[in-house]
Structure 1
Amino acid sequence: MLQLSRILSRGVPPRSAQPTQSVSPSLSLRGPAHLPAGSPTVLRLRAGPEASLGLEGRGGGRRKGKQRLEKLGGGRNPGQKGRGEAQDGGEHFLEAATLHPRLARLSWERGSEGGAGRALGRPGETRRGPDLPRCPAEAAACPGGSLGAPGASRWAGEPCALGARGNEAWGALLRLDWRAGLEMHALTGFSLVSLLSFGYLSWDWAKPSLVADGPREDSAEQPSAAPPQPPHIIFILTDDQGYHDVGYHGSDIETPTLDRLAAEGVKLENYYIQPICTPSRSQLLTGRYQIHTGLQHSIIRPRQPNCLPLDQVTLPQKLQEAGYSTHMVGKWHLGFYRKECLPTRRGFDTFLGSLTGNVDYYTYDNCDGPGVCGFDLHEGESVAWGLSGQYSTMLYAQRASHILASHSPQQPLFLYVAFQAVHTPLQSPREYLYRYRTMGNVARRKYAAMVTCMDEAVRNITWALKRYGFYNNSVIIFSSDNGGQTFSGGSNWPLRGRKGTYWEGGVRGLGFIHSPLLKRKRRTSHALVHITDWYPTLVGLAGGTVSAADGLDGYDVWPAISEGRASPRTEILHNIDPLYNHARHGSLEGGFGIWNTAVQAAIRVGEWKLLTGDPGSGDWIPPQTLAAFPDSWWNLERMASVRQAVWLFNISADPYEREDLAGQRPDVVRALLARLADYNRTAIPVRYPAENPRAHPDFNGGAWGPWASDEEEEEEEEESRARSFSRGRRKKKCKICKLRSFFRRLNTRLMSHRI
């Protein structure tokens, strides 16, 4: 290859003609470009106002010395062009001189065949060939921007991708530094070389000082590969989204973004979560079952002095140790009675969202009983009064995009987006409701509008990942937190049960991974995965380590997801809740003396699933698209009260749990009861304290927030132990409690028939 001094010996203006103002170079391109013979390549540089552009080419085709490049431009008029064509193969050099002060636009006219689409990335970013993903075949499918078909162009400040259409594709980009502003003060040069045996495009750097002082000895060498950077991790969690409520599961709800991301990634069709909010979130952030965090029972109420155990090392804390910047947007619901419980004290650098379980989507008010209402939108550790009035789904997507815009892609990022959608109250912007105006069931109509709005929020976040240069090295994980609430428009059809139950409709989750880093994409995985597995999996991706001393219940499932290997997980403990109402017909004798079957518990081992106690409502509820269902049809799929406390299903053969095999396979029942007993021996006591009146928002300026100090916590624990001891010594009969229980069950039956 010719020396840089020879390449630039012609067409270079005198040093005095170059600007003397010292500004940072913006676009510096140099290096060989290898193109197949006979494939014309045209590079056009369009200069903006007050720009000077000079191009001079020399070189040869197959015959040495044959002139093939034209010289155009060189003035200061807007729109002047420099153009060079390489048509016959061989070596060609294209020189660009005095590109200053601002290059307005870069436009590709035609590409070479056989290359792979590559992303340019964001301003100020360097990318290397092996790290760059393929761009979709259709340019329109690249929301981050694409040069697309020949003749298309992008303004300099925009991120873009060298796309591919049909038989034309742009060459593989080995290295490119694309800087905002495109300010230059010295000669910028690049070369085009066409060789018969190569089909890729390689761009390198020439610093202004090197161009001015003389040739570089290593100008012909390719840059060494940079060490792999840990991937950016984006975890998107939705609230109460049913198994049936996504387009690729045959839903009547429009979710084009989720459908596309799942189709291009890996769908998780054997993925399990917990039946309610707090347990799923606690297991995600700790990698431990509920029995190992003391959160076996119910959720954390706003007035309870309870939160995620402070001795647990959370997922964001572990990622911070690996050098990650960590951010959370959305619903926390893991306790806040002390400041040490807040997200910013549990591993997140920033936080915007709600601390309680459900708030108004516009006003962010939350009521935990009559007259116990408060504002719940926080930024960091302060109340975000000024953000009230914005629809939460859109607000959270905007904040996620802002985080991406202000963060450097060179530092690994963990972004946890926990949407409030589609939890009650059922509220949606009017424009989304209009799409479902023909849907007869009002609750389903509002619910569908909320799902579609959330889908568009995910699209905006994905677009921001591409726009700001994160996408090529990112892992996007989508998950629901529990089954859909059928009373509020959700659907888990054809699975059995709903939110709050341990039937498949309550614990089978929506989930997929979308990432350019996946080795096997566009497929469906049936590997067994649980929400606790994300902790070790993401720590492993980040370059961190976990050991047996961490006491995790999760497994690293990345090889199973990315490469299609067998899952290391063979069983899941769904839960053991000793405080839940004991089943009337359960007993220790019914559990072969191994396990008290009156206790609510659920476990899956291999293809077998065992439930004991009261697993919750076991109805099969079809999608509620009609305003009302005929009672006769509804009752066909309803479970009458049964006198049993043990169920056994072969989930692989019977995923809808319609054939109970407990009576036919007592050997399997006995083995799974023994596993429950083994797990129970490792459980810690349930932490479910009584509500504290000090938590009332009126004592905190009208907003929900921390209220307890260390001394108050110790006093509360002593009182709780005293109450437990008192209950153990004497148990009073409570007639009013029985009446309340009766009317609660009656109301539930009436509501079921009404829906």
Structure 2
Amino acid sequence: MPLFRHNYSPTPSCLTFAVFLQIIAVGGEAGAFKQPHILFIVADDFGWNDVGYHGSEIHTPALDRLAADGVKLDSYYVQPICSPTRSQLLTGRYQIHTGLQHGVIRPAQPNGVPLDVPTIADMLKSAGYSTHMVGKWHIGFYKKEYMPTYRGFDSFYGYLLGAEQYYTHKRCFDIHEGRTHKRLCGLDLHENDKPVLNESGTYSTQLFTTRAERVVKEHVKSGSNKPLFLYLPLQAVHAPLEVPPEYVHKYDFIKDKARRKYAGMVSCMDEAVANITKTFKNFGLWDNTVLIFSTDNGGQVKEGGNNWPLRGWKGSLWEGGMRGVGFVNSPLLEKNSTTSQELLHVSDWFPTLMYLARANTTGLKLDGYNVWQTISKGKPSPRKELLHNIDPLEWPSGSPFPGGGFDSRVRAAVRVGRWKLITGNPGPGTWVPPPDKRDTTLHFKRTEHTHTDNTLRFIPRYKEKRSDTQNVWLFDIMKDPLEKDDLSQKYPSVVRNLLQRLAYYNSTAVPVRYPPEDLNADPAKHGGVWRPWED
């Protein structure tokens, strides 16, 4: 339940002691509660081993300092790929409850988060917030009603697709319709619902930083008494590997070209975070601000990212694909300079921010939990289990596990307490060390991958022990976060219990939304710009 309804202004005399304590818990005094400003920064494809405080060779002084002074989230989970993470962040619902349980939203797909599902921005706006977005959308735009300014944001400056060029802000994409193949290319940079035509040559991390700083300055100078919600999903550090050369020079010691350029991209992003938080401080907002920093999925090892020592990478159901870099920094935290080992998920931000904002969530169907007491006070997480996903469209693998109640051929994963169960084909399950820090005393094999620029790179991978027909894995993830010891043969009863949990979740799932691509999305039909194409 929310703390207050919007039209109810309690006085100290009518507060129960419990409600009084709730007000104190979010950082205000009884009778003088002030909604906090919210700065939510999302990095793209930022791996576990790509931040300094996890021991990376990449320098991230701003992130390290903010995390050290705040609360590091050590058991925080996102989704393996972009659109599902962003949809769950913005709605508080599992992707099985929005129809986005398969893949990402592709550029020419008429798809998006359902319009009857309110977003964080919708809810915060109704609670009195000024709501602004700068950066990557990637949860649908085929009709204007799916655009950010129709989904609760007062302003939007950024791009709609999942990736693009950092300097030209253009994206090309190949689609196939029967025997027809077509390459669609267009500009993808927008201010609200209008294309931005004059920023070619400006690096997007710096462009978005400048715009975010402008949002803060204009909010303060307008004299608005509204709290500010700034959602900043950066393009960094997703491929393509592009960055101004001055950020790369400090990494000459990294011999792998992709890793070296990626490191420069991370440094530029770290500088962006430093500049944005400095702007909040300079304009007097910081003392009442909650900063959340999160990746959207694990690092892409084919494009310079790294998740060592976790198993797997972007796109997989292993920890390397989903265990996310994340932290919270705020003067409103009761306990800071700590690390939380409590189970948290990206869907938890929705109800947590609603709690902080005093927003009324009555009637909403949410899968997330309010975890503010866990983050701020160090209390146990209300979340005891987590559905990672159930994807019925992924090609089935192996044979059904006997007596399980859920078809183990289906790609899925669930966490209950200390146990994690994976079924179907979980994706790449190897342990990839940083390219320049290979322990040659350990056994690994070199595996060839096709790089996005059509060159070939070799990525060292520690051997994964797996039969072609295996489709069930069980781990005590608390004791074995590296997922080295599969316990499915040892504890078949635990496997069956967790399969029953998957069966339960599957019974609540809505049909998958994954329509075919539409050639009417071609930017050539819309002035050379990626934009809504259906009336």
| Alignment TM-score > 0.5, same fold | yes
Conserved 8 A contact 1:253-1:451: yes
| 3-state SS of 1:387 partner | coil
What is the distance in 1 between the residues matched to 2:318 and 2:197?
Answer: 40
Alpha-carbon deviation of 1:631?
11
Q: Deviations over 1:236-278 (max 9, x none)?
A: 0000000110000000000000000000000000100000000
User: What letter corresponds to residue 610 of structure 1 in structure 2?
Assistant: L
Q: Do structure 1's residue 273 and structure 2's residue 86 form an aligned pair?
A: no
1:9-24 paired onto structure 2 within 5 Å: none
Q: Structure 1's 433 and 407: CA in aligned 2 closer, same or farther, altered over 3 A? A: same
Q: Do structure 1's residue 352 and structure 2's residue 157 form an aligned pair?
A: yes
Q: Deviations over 1:75-98 (max 9, x none)?
A: xxxxxxxxxxxxxxxxxxxxxxxx
Residue of structure 2 equivalent to 1:570: 384
Q: Deviations over 1:168-202 (max 9, x none)?
A: xxxxxxxxxxxxxxxxxxxxxxxxxxxxxxxxxxx
Q: Structure 1's 627 and 433: CA in aligned 2 closer, same or farther, altered over 3 A? A: farther
1:539-578 paired onto structure 2 within 5 Å: 539-547=354-362, 549-578=363-392
Q: How many residues align?
A: 485
What is the distance in 2 between the residues matched to 1:489 and 1:386?
Answer: 30
What is the distance in 2 between the residues matched to 1:561 and 1:686?
Answer: 33
Q: Structure 1's 512 and 591: CA in aligned 2 closer, same or farther, altered over 3 A? A: farther
Residue of structure 2 equivalent to 1:178: none
Q: Structure 1's 599 and 412: CA in aligned 2 closer, same or farther, altered over 3 A? A: same
Q: Deviations over 1:659-691 (max 9, x none)?
A: 000001111101100000000000000010000
Q: Do structure 1's residue 681 and structure 2's residue 496 form an aligned pair?
A: no
Conserved 8 A contact 2:138-2:161: yes
Q: Do structure 1's residue 648 and structure 2's residue 453 form an aligned pair?
A: no
Q: Structure 1's 225 and 532: CA in aligned 2 closer, same or farther, altered over 3 A? A: closer
Q: Which runs of 5+ in 2 are unaligned?
A: 1-23, 175-181, 447-460
Alpha-carbon deviation of 1:581?
1.3
What is the distance in 1 between the residues matched to 2:333 and 2:300?
Answer: 33
1:25-40 paired onto structure 2 within 5 Å: none
Residue of structure 2 equivalent to 1:520: 335
Conserved 8 A contact 1:591-1:673: no
Q: Structure 1's 644 and 633: CA in aligned 2 closer, same or farther, altered over 3 A? A: closer
Residue of structure 2 equivalent to 1:598: 409
| 3-state SS of 1:333 partner | coil
Alpha-carbon deviation of 1:410?
3.1
1:95-114 paired onto structure 2 within 5 Å: none
Residue of structure 2 equivalent to 1:412: 227
Residue of structure 2 equivalent to 1:374: 186
Residue of structure 2 equivalent to 1:387: 199
User: What letter corresponds to residue 99 of structure 2 in structure 1?
Assistant: G
What is the distance in 1 between the residues matched to 2:131 and 2:195?
Answer: 20
Instruction: State the Cα RMSD in Å.
Output: 1.9
| 3-state SS of 2:183 partner | coil
User: What letter corresponds to residue 488 of structure 2 in structure 1?
Assistant: A
Conserved 8 A contact 1:484-1:491: yes
- Structure number with greater Rg is 1
Conserved 8 A contact 2:421-2:472: yes
Residue of structure 1 equivalent to 2:519: 693
Q: Among 203, 208, 227, which residue is 1:396 paired with?
A: 208
What is the distance in 2 between the residues matched to 1:677 and 1:708?
Answer: 37
What is the distance in 2 between the residues matched to 1:473 and 1:488?
Answer: 38
| 3-state SS of 2:48 partner | coil
Alpha-carbon deviation of 1:226?
7.5
User: What letter corresponds to residue 349 of structure 2 in structure 1?
Assistant: W
Residue of structure 2 equivalent to 1:477: 292
Q: Among 260, 273, 280, which residue is 1:458 paired with?
A: 273
| 3-state SS of 1:660 partner | coil
Q: Do structure 1's residue 637 and structure 2's residue 457 form an aligned pair?
A: no
1:167-566 paired onto structure 2 within 5 Å: 227-369=32-174, 371-408=183-220, 410-547=225-362, 549-566=363-380
What is the distance in 2 between the residues matched to 1:334 and 1:371?
Answer: 22
Alpha-carbon deviation of 1:632?
5.5
| 3-state SS of 2:420 partner | strand
User: What letter corresponds to residue 599 of structure 1 in structure 2?
Assistant: V
What is the distance in 2 between the residues matched to 1:633 and 1:708?
Answer: 50
Conserved 8 A contact 2:443-2:463: no
Percent identity over paired residues: 54
Alpha-carbon deviation of 1:411?
1.7
Q: TM-score scaled to structure 1, two decimals? A: 0.63
What is the distance in 2 between the residues matched to 1:545 and 1:273?
Answer: 25
Conserved 8 A contact 2:92-2:347: yes
Alpha-carbon deviation of 1:516?
0.2
User: What letter corresponds to residue 455 of structure 1 in structure 2?
Assistant: D
Q: TM-score scaled to structure 2, two decimals? A: 0.88
